[in-house]
Amino acid sequence: MRIIIVEDYEEMSRKSAKVVSERLRRKPDLVLGLPTGSTPVGMYQQLIKAHKEKGLDFSRVRSFNLDEYWGLSPDHPQSYHYFMWHNFFNHINIKPENVYIPRGEAENAETFCNWYEHKIKEEGGIDLQVLGIGRDGHIGFNEPGSSLGSRTRIKTLTEETREDNSRFFEKKEDVPYCAITMGIGTIFEAKECLLLASGDNKAEAVQKCIEGPVSTETTASLLQLHSKLIIIVDEEAAKNLKSKDYYKHTQRMAEKLQAEPR
């Protein structure tokens, strides 16, 4: 687990985009797992900039989104289909046929979820899974109490999650009660994970994720067991970390070693 503490949201966005860009240049047919929400927007903007100014090529990338609200059609302005195309996909050269996002209007949810799991495996598995984290420590829509071995499925949202997401809707009553989400087990199978967090409202969740016990109450805590995990958080999100100084020290040492000639 590599923990990178940065000054602010802008630096978090730049550093996370750099990680994605490096992996993409190394493997042009990268399979990306992608999140929505306010946290990754800055990263997407940086990747768009790299595409337009430096020729970062997404033409062979396959992407799988973490989740989608159950009951919303792809053209609904609050759907994650709409979010991804508006904030990212419309601005890069990814092929539409290589974009996979859970379908909130699928007639048979179980059949669709099984298909989604199969499609991820068919594409060789996710190379890099980018994640945000909820205030209660959830990843995807895997709310507290979710099985750590869970797969893609419909999940009922907590009132806290609905309250947090109500800022995107006209009123809280419009927020769906359920979502299709990759499971914890699905996420954990990614070859590498990159978790992002910004703001003091995420500080408690970040501390539990990194330093707390592995627990179904903080579903992000399973990432402690992942063999290849990068966590990038800003100062506000890192404020509760007990070993914050040590994490900064190890990061300085890593940067020093990279700078020294070999």
Please give the positions annotated as active site: 67, 136, 138, 143
Residue 195 corresponds to which amino acid? Answer: L
- Give the pairing of strands 2-6 and 229-234: parallel
- Beta carbons of 194 and 232 less than 8 angstroms apart: yes
- Longest Cα–Cα distance in the chain: 59
Q: What is the DSSP letter of 158?
A: P
Q: Which two tokens stand for residue 1?
A: 């687990």
Residue with tokens 């240049």: 25
CB 221 within 8 A of CB 209: yes
Strand, coil or helix: what is 216? coil
How many whole angstroms separate alpha carbon 34 and alpha carbon 100? Answer: 10
Could you tell me where the beta strands, DSSP code E, fall in 17-127?
31-34, 62-65, 67-69, 99-100
Pairing assessment for the beta strands 178-181 and 67-69 based on DSSP bridges: antiparallel
Amino acid at 127: D
| Alpha carbons 219 and 9: distance in angstroms, whole number | 23
Question: Are 17 and 54 contacting, i.e. CB atoms less than 8 angstroms apart?
Answer: no
